[in-house]
Amino acid sequence: MRRVHAELLTLPSWRVTAELLKLLTLPSLLLTAVLTLTTAAVVSWADAEPVPYAQAGFLVLGVLAATDSPVATLIAMPQRLPLHAARALTLGVLALPLAAAAGDALYLTCTTLLAFGVATLVRLPLPSVLTLLGSHFIACPLLRAASTDVAPFLPDAAAGAPSRGLLTTAAWTACALTLSAWSFTRRDAP
């Protein structure tokens, strides 16, 4: 346990800087950000709530960040727990202003980090995107329609009711990040 603490204390700047450079120079990430904000703008213009649409872009953002060159990164920064924390932190910092622009800073940032966690577990980009879109766009709406009792416990609970649902969404995100940290430190590199 003490070692874990020591590792986390070494989190600081250079790891975050490296991650920031990596994410900002990833063309697919920039493209996704632009497409997401454009969609959000079009949806707002059409007089609808942008968040349920824009969350797709944030899910993809999290997946792209998680699946980008993990092996090269591990060779450069072999201490996995601080690396994982730095990656999540950097992604969160980057996603926050985008999320605010798209309509819901907290929920969409949480969703990005949830996607990051899930994609770190799944490891392959396409199946990760499939899992996440499947859950947020197909499974959750179906479950909500089938039974109103489960609605407050779904990962996208905060999309509809920000005040009450945020706790649920944050819990799902924390869960995904913890599980992914465990898997990222234990498993062989992909």
Partner 1 sequence: MVSLIRAELHKLLGLPTARIGLLLGTLLSPLVVLVNAPAVRRAGLAGADLGLVELGVGLIGPMILGVVIVSSEFTSTGDDAPRARQLTATLIAVPHRMRLLTAKTAALVLVVGVQAIVAAAATIGLTQVMHGDRVQVPAFGRIAAAALYWVLLALLAYAITLITRNGIVPLTLLIVNSTVVSVSYLLTKVTSAAAYLPDIVGAQMFLQGSDFPVRIAPVTAGLVMTAWIAAFLAVGAVLFHRRDA
Q: Footprint of partner 1 on this chain (CB under 8 A)? A: 28, 35, 39, 42-43, 45-48, 52-53, 56-57, 59-60, 63-64, 69, 71-72, 125-127, 129-130, 133-134, 137-138, 141-142, 145-146
Residue 39 or 183: the one with the smaller Cβ distance to partner 1 is 39
**Whole-number Cα distances in Å, 137 to 3, 46, 70, 159, 188:** 40, 20, 28, 12, 32
Enumerate residues 6+ apart whose C-beta is below 8 A from 139.
none
Residue 53 or 184: the one with the smaller Cβ distance to partner 1 is 53
> Please, what is the minimum distance in Å from the beta carbon of residue 114 to partner 1?
16
Half-sphere exposure of 27 (CA within 13 A, CB side): 0
CA–CA–CA angle 48, 44, 150 (5° rounding): 45
> Please, what is the minimum distance in Å from the beta carbon of residue 8 to partner 1?
29
Residue 8 or 75: the one with the smaller Cβ distance to partner 1 is 75
> Please, what is the minimum distance in Å from the beta carbon of residue 62 to partner 1?
12
Residue 21 or 75: the one with the smaller Cβ distance to partner 1 is 75
